[in-house]
Homo-oligomer: A and B are copies of this chain.
Amino acid sequence: MQKHRELRTRTHAAFLTQADAMRPTLYRQRVMPISVVNMIPDALTLHGWRSEVRFTPDQLSQQTFASGDEFIVDFGQHCVGYLSLRCESAGSPPDAPAHLQFIFGEISAEVAEPFSQYDGWLSRSWLQQEDSYLDVLPVEMTLPRRYCCRYIKVRVVSTSPKYGLRFPTFHLDTVSSASDSTLQQVQIADPLLREIDEISVRTLKNCMQDVFEDGPKRDRRLWLGDLRLQALVNYPTYAHNDLVKRCLYLFAGVTREDGMVSSNLFMQPQVIADDTFLFDYALLFVATLEDYVAATGDRATLDDLWPTARRQIELSLQRLDDRHILRDSEDWWAFIDWHEQLNKQAAAQGVLIYALRKGIQLARRCDNANIAWLETTLERVSQAALTHLWDDEQGFFVSGEARQVSWAAQVWLILGEVGDVAFRRQLLARLQRHPPMIKMHTPYMMHHFIEALLTHGEREQAVVEIKRYWGGMVQAGAETFWELYDPDNPDYSPYGSKLINSYCHAWSCTPAWLIRHFEL
Report the Cα distance A94→B129, complex, angstroms: 19
Task: Determine the chain B residues whose CB is within 8 A of the CB of A162 once the complex forms.
Answer: 1-2, 4
Interface residues of A (CB under 8 A from B): 1-2, 4, 64, 66-67, 90-99, 122-126, 129-131, 133, 135-138, 145, 157-164, 218-221, 266, 268-269, 272, 274-275
Q: Are A268 and B125 in contact (CB under 8 A)?
A: no
A223 to chain B, nearest CB (A): 11
- B2–A138 touching, CB < 8 Å: no
Please tell me if the beta carbons of A123 and B2 are within 8 angstroms of each other in the complex. no
For A1, A2, A158, A218, which residue has the most chain B Cβ atoms within 10 angstroms? A1
CB <8 Å contact, A2 and B161: yes
Query: Given A96-B123, A125-B97, is A1 in contact with B164 using a C-beta cutoff of 8 Å?
Result: yes
Complex formed: what's the CA distance from A164 to B2 in Å? 9
Nearest residue, chain B, Cβ from A122: B96
Residues of B within 8 A of A90 (CB): 1, 4
> Given that A145-B133, A145-B135, A269-B138 are contacting pairs, would A92 and B123 also be in contact in the complex, using a CB cutoff of 8 Å?
no
5 interchain pairs (CB within 8 A)?
Answer: A1-B91, A4-B163, A97-B123, A97-B125, A98-B125
B158 touches A272 (CB 8 A): no
Dominant SS among interface residues on chain A: loop
A66 with B123: CB separation less than 8 A:
no
The answer to whether B133 and A125 have CB atoms under 8 Å apart is: yes
A135 to B146, CA, bound (A): 10
Which of B92, B138, B220 contacts A4, CB < 8 Å?
Answer: B92
Let me know if B131 and A2 touch, CB within 8 A.
no
Q: Are A159 and B219 in contact (CB-based, < 8 A)?
A: no
Q: How far is the CA of A220 from the CA of B95 in the complex (A)?
A: 10
Report whether A125 and B275 are in contact in the complex, using a CB–CB cutoff of 8 Å. Answer: no
Residues A93 and B275 in contact in the complex (CB < 8 Å), given A125-B98, A159-B123: yes
Closest B residue, CB atoms, query A267? B136
Taking CB atoms, residues of chain B closer than 8 Å to A136 are 268-269
Partner of A1, one of B145, B163, B221: B163
Closest residue on chain B to residue A269 by CB atoms: B136
Supply 4 further A-B pairs (C-beta < 8 A) apart from A2-B162, A4-B162, A133-B145. A1-B64, A94-B266, A96-B123, A96-B219
B145 near A125: Cβ-Cβ < 8 Å: no
Q: Is the CB of B131 within 8 A of A274?
A: no
For the complex formed, measure the closest distance between the CB of A297 and the CB atoms of chain B, giving whole angstroms: 35
| B residues less than 8 Å from A94 (CB atoms) | 266
Residue of B nearest to A160 (CB): B123
CB distance from A150 to the nearest CB of B (A): 20
Q: Which residues of B have CB within 8 Å of A66?
A: 1
Contact A125 B159 (CB under 8 A): yes
A1: chain B residues at CB < 8 Å are 64, 66, 90-91, 159, 161-164
A158's partner among B4, B125, B163 (CB-CB below 8 A) is B125
With both beta carbons as reference points, the residue of chain B lying nearest to A67 in the complex is identified as B123
Separation of A93 and B219 alpha carbons in the complex (Å): 13
Closest residue to A164 on the B side, CB-wise?
A: B1
CA distance A130 to B135 in the complex (A): 13
- Complex-state Cα separation, A1 to B156, whole angstroms: 13
Q: Which 5 A-B pairs have the closest CB atoms?
A: A96-B123, A99-B125, A4-B91, A136-B268, A125-B158
- Closest CB in chain B relative to A119 CB, distance in Å: 12
In the assembled complex, the Cα of A4 lies from the Cα of B66 at a distance in Å of 13
Is there an interface contact between B2 and A274, defined as CB atoms closer than 8 Å? no
Kindly list chain B residues whose C-beta atoms are within 8 Å of the C-beta of A133. 125, 129-130, 145
The CA of A4 and the CA of B93, in the complex, are separated in Å by: 10
Docked-complex contact A266 and B97, CB < 8 angstroms = no
CA distance A274 to B1 in the complex (A): 52
Nearest chain B residue, comparing its CB with the CB of A94: B266
Chain B residue with Cβ nearest A146: B135
**In the complex where A98-B125, A131-B131, A135-B145 touch, is A93 in contact with B158 (Cβ < 8 A)?**
no
Q: How far is the CA of A2 from the CA of B95 in the complex (A)?
A: 13
Query: In whole angstroms, how far apart are the Cα atoms of A122 and B93 in the complex?
Result: 15
CA distance A269 to B131 in the complex (A): 21
A115 to chain B, nearest CB (A): 11
In the bound assembly, the distance between CA atoms of A131 and B129 in angstroms comes to 10
Shortest CB-to-CB span from A168 to chain B, Å, is 15
A251 CB to nearest chain B CB (Å): 15
Q: Which of A95, A219, A268, A272 has the most CB of B within 10 A?
A: A95
Report if A123-B269 is in contact (Cβ < 8 Å); known contacts: A2-B92, A274-B95. no
Q: Cβ of A67: which chain B residues have Cβ within 8 Å of it?
A: 123
